[in-house]
Amino acid sequence: MIIRQATINDAPAIAEFNIKMAKETEGMILISHVISAGVSNMIKNPAMGFYLVAEEDNVIQASLMVTTEWSDWRNGLFWWIQSVYVQPRFRRKGLYSKLYEKVKALSEAKTNVCGFRLYVEHENLVAQQTYRALGMDKTGYQMFEEMK
């Protein structure tokens, strides 16, 4: 299994993963051309963040996205892990752990990364268990949003 930063050639697979993840976790149907443009836009603009992919035999089996949030309290960046998807046959085999290890390794070269954050569905107990096992703690924050 190779863990690497995504290229524009990986955009169709990542977009498809995002479509599957949204349907699976939230019952949400994403608009294909919108998510495809969103993934391509991220890859073309690394200041926005980046994707990692896990590839086996030249086929992408998992991906995640990293974006940043400035923390004035810490004078550093949080790396937000988002859009995590692992193909069903590779789940519960440590693949997410390998992706997370790569995120942390990449952060070592950056002196301003102060931590890692993610959000998870309340009902996704399996993912929550995985995140705890990797050393992440549940925060006291709840997330609110207003869509434009």
Token pair belonging to 146: 């207003």
CB of 52 within 8 A of CB of 5?
yes
Copy the structure tokens of residue 133: 């096992």
Counted residue by residue, the chain has a size of 148
Q: Can you tell me the distance from the alpha carbon of 10 to that of 43, in angstroms, rounded to the nearest whole number?
A: 9
Amino acid present at 56: E
pLDDT of 142 reads 86
Global confidence as pTM = 0.91
pLDDT of residue 20: 96
Topology adopted by domain 2-133? Aminopeptidase (3.40.630)
Residue ranges covered by each domain of the chain: 2-133
Q: Which residue numbers in the chain have pLDDT < 70?
A: none
Enter the tokens of residue 137.
């703690």
